[in-house]
């Protein structure tokens, strides 16, 4: 187990990487792919077992996407499904002893948040063109300052919310283990249970907010 | 050794990692499931349409059967009525025939009876004559009293007459 606040790094091609974050990311990716493969290995028209679970997630996301983004949003469905499953797996593996969440590293969360925001702006420009730029200057051109602050705040809040929640959870697990004598496991267990809840909630929040931002860029505007 | 919040090249690696994950997931899981869901909804829609069509066809067939059944009932009734009429006619014809036969037999029997009676009457007459002659001979032989003779013959004849006709009647 690593010391709090310290990360192992390696240097590769002159760049610095947090090796533990990368390992855990690959593990989480592996888990997600494994679950997806197992669930879709033997698809049938009449669903059974794991297939029900995967279908449930996909149908729920489809409903959300249709409600928030309209028909154009369907092409983003794989991205959003992937985002949700990856975040859920990442958040939860941090609770396994000797492992860490990829999402306890700001690089991961900020990376994902920037990816989402860049996608938002690219899709917005692609689908709406001039309208998209114009909407930053509404209702009056003065609002461009506020709008810019909002746009910059989006990835930062998205990234720090997830990062803070997950890192705090892991730190408190370590702190509680060191603080409490070995015969008093109740606070640790309680916190672990709460961390599981937090992991799920944060995965949902990140996904839903990403969807909301993307919806802004993608959905057809009837008002304009 | 790096402090907790430090942004380095990991951010690029993570973006790349995530994009790879999305591509893999899309290929491995999302597409087959989405296709399957589409297939299922198509199949359910097709089944529902087919069920509706089948129901309509069944209703039509039922209607046809009802019409045919009513037709068959009517035809059967006609056949029964016709048979009844035919049977009545045949029965009447048979009765008439029988009556005629009976009439004919009665007539024959009466003619035969008449014949018999005539024949018997003729025979009786000839016997009466011969008996009268025999009686006359006896009377001649006994005496020649005319009065007595007449009386005897007449008595005999009248007696015979009564007996003979009573028998024949």
The domains of chain B are located at 12-168
Arithmetic mean of pLDDT, A44-64 = 74
- Per the domain annotation, does A101 fall within a domain? yes
Nearest by CB: A55 against B12, B22, B33: B33
Do the chains contact at B4 and A78, CB–CB below 8 Å?
no
Is the CB of A9 inside 8 Å of chain B's CB atoms?
yes
What pLDDT does residue A223 have? 45
Q: What is the mean pLDDT of chain A?
A: 80
Say if A4 falls within a structural domain: no
Span B17-43, pLDDT tens digits: 888 888 888 887 777 777 877 888 898
pLDDT at B4: 67
- Judge whether A162 and A105 are in contact, CB under 8 Å: no
Confidence at residue A220, expressed as pLDDT on a 0 to 100 scale: 67
Q: For residue A223, is it within any domain?
A: no
Does the residue A63 lie in any domain?
yes
Mean pLDDT calculated for residue range B100-128: 92
Choose among B17, B25, B40: nearest Cβ to A78. B25
Chain A contact set for B12 (CB, 8 A): 15, 111
Q: Taking residues A58-75, what's their average pLDDT? A: 77
Which of A210-224, B42-56, B150-164 has the highest mean predicted lDDT (pLDDT)?
Answer: B42-56
pLDDT of amino acid B47: 92
Q: Are A202 and A105 in contact (CB under 8 A)?
A: no
What is the pLDDT at residue A224? 40
* Residue A134 in this model has a pLDDT that exceeds 50: yes
Name the domain count of chain A: 1
**Any CB–CB contact under 8 A between A18 and chain B?**
yes
A166 occurs within a structural domain: yes
**Structural domain includes residue A79:** yes
* Block residue for tokens 């810019």: A148
Query: Of A137-141, B16-20, B119-123, where does the model show the most confidence?
Result: B119-123
Domain holding A107, by residue range, is 9-218
Residue A150 included in any domain = yes
Residue B50 in this model has a pLDDT that exceeds 50: yes
Domain membership flag for residue A105: yes
Q: In this complex, which of A15, A29, A85 lies closest to B17 when CB atoms are compared?
A: A29
Q: Which of residues 26-55 of A touch B (CB under 8 A)?
A: 26, 29, 32-33, 36-37, 39-40, 43, 45, 54-55
B167 — pLDDT class (breaks 50, 70, 90)? low
What are the CB-based long-range contacts (under 8 Å, 24+) for A38-45? A39/B29, A40/B28, A40/B29, A40/B32, A40/B33, A43/B32, A43/B33, A43/B36, A45/B36, A45/B39, A45/B40, A45/B43
Q: Does B33 lie at the interface with A, CB-CB under 8 angstroms?
A: yes
């Amino acid at each position: 187990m690593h010391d709090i606040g310290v990360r192992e790094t390696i240097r590769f091609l002159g760049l610095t990487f947090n090796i533990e974050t990368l390992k855990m990311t690959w593990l989480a990716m592996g888990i997600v792919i494994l679950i997806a493969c197992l669930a879709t290995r033997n698809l049938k028209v009449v669903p059974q077992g794991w297939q029900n679970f995967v279908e449930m997630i996909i149908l729920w996301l489809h409903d959300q996407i249709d409600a928030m983004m309209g028909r154009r949003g369907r092409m983003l469905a794989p991205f959003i499904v992937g985002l949700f499953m990856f975040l859920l797996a990442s958040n939860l593996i941090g609770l396994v002893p000797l492992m860490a969440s990829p999402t306890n590293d700001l690089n991961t969360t900020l990376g994902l948040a920037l990816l989402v925001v860049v996608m938002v702006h690219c899709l917005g420009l692609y689908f709406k063109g001039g309208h998209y730029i114009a909407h930053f200057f509404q209702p009056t051109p003065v609002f461009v300052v506020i709008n810019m602050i909002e746009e910059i705040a989006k990835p930062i809040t998205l990234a720090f919310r997830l990062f803070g929640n997950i890192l705090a959870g892991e730190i408190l697990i370590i702190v509680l283990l060191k603080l409490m004598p070995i015969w008093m496991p109740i606070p640790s267990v309680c916190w672990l249970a709460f961390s599981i809840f937090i992991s799920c909630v944060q995965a949902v929040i990140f996904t839903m907010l990403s969807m909301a931002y993307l919806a802004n860029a993608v959905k057809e505007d009837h008002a304009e | 050794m790096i402090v907790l919040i430090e942004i380095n090249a990991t951010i690029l690696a993570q973006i790349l990692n995530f994009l790879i994950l999305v591509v893999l997931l899309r290929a491995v899981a999302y597409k087959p499931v989405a296709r399957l869901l589409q297939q299922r909804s198509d199949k359910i829609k097709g089944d529902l349409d087919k069920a509706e069509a089948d129901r309509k066809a069944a209703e039509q067939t039922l209607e046809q059967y009802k019409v045919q059944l009513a037709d068959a009932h009517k035809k059967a009734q006609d056949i029964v009525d016709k048979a009844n009429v035919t049977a009545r006619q045949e029965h009447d014809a048979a009765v008439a025939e029988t009556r005629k036969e009976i009439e004919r037999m009665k007539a024959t029997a009466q003619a035969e009876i008449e014949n018999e009676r005539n024949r018997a009457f003729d025979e009786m007459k000839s016997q009466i004559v011969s008996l009268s002659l025999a009686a006359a001979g006896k009377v001649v032989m006994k005496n020649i009293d005319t009065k007595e003779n007449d009386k005897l013959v007449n008595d005999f004849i009248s007696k015979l007459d009564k007996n003979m006709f009573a028998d024949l009647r």
